[in-house]
Amino acid sequence: MIEKMSQVPNDSLHSLKELKDELSELLQGEISSLILNTDELDEDYTVSANVLKFNELEINAKNRTVQESGRAIVLTPKEFEILYFLAQNQGTVFTKEQIYNAVWDEDYFLSDSNIMAFIRKLRKKIEPNPDEPIYIITIWGVGYKFNDNL
């Protein structure tokens, strides 16, 4: 191998070294560019993970705000937690007890009226027509789900 190296003209070795250096710089630039692009993607993902959009309804988890058709909707902390819990689990049917356990830090009191009252108030605030809800759907005999057809 050493004999072969000594047979290669010095100019060729110099050219190979320059080529290697150029390739190395080019690769470093590409790698840096990929890292920057990945950082931007992470930021975009974080923003979209914090904001859930369904038709005209927008739920911002970071700011704990809700808008429907561009109109700000004021929710109580528990109303927001129920809405966000259902929306995060879009399409999954939950019993009233499961919703209660997900939102409250206390034991369920075997009274469905508490959850029903919150759902009724939420619908009045977020639904275009609370009597025909499009966001929070009742599954008779079971509980509620956030509409998975949005």
94 burial level (CB within 10 Å; 0-12, 13-18, 19+):
buried
Residue 62 included in any domain: no
- The amino acid present at 9, given as its one-letter code, is P
Full residue range of the structural domain in which residue 102 is found: 75-146
pLDDT score for 70 = 93
What residues in the chain have per-residue pLDDT under 70? 1-49, 110
Say if 130 falls within a structural domain.
Answer: yes
Strand duo 65-68 + 71-73: pairing: antiparallel
In terms of domains, do 87 and 125 share one? Answer: yes
Specify the pLDDT at position 41. Answer: 47
Pair (29, 79) in one structural domain: no
- Residue 61: inside a domain: no
Q: Are residues 41 and 80 in the same domain?
A: no
Same domain, 38 and 84: no
Asked whether residue 138 falls in the same domain as residue 80, the answer is yes
**Number of domains the chain is built from:** 2
42 and 79 belong to one structural domain? no
Q: What is the pLDDT of residue 143?
A: 96
Residues 80 and 44 in one domain: no
Same domain as 125, residue 79: yes
Residues 6+ apart with CB under 8 A from 20: none
**SS3 letters across 128-146:** CCCCCCCCEEEECCCEEEE
Element (H, E) at 65: strand 65-68
For residue 97, tell me if it sits in a domain: yes
The tokens for 145 are: 């789900």
pTM for the model: 0.67
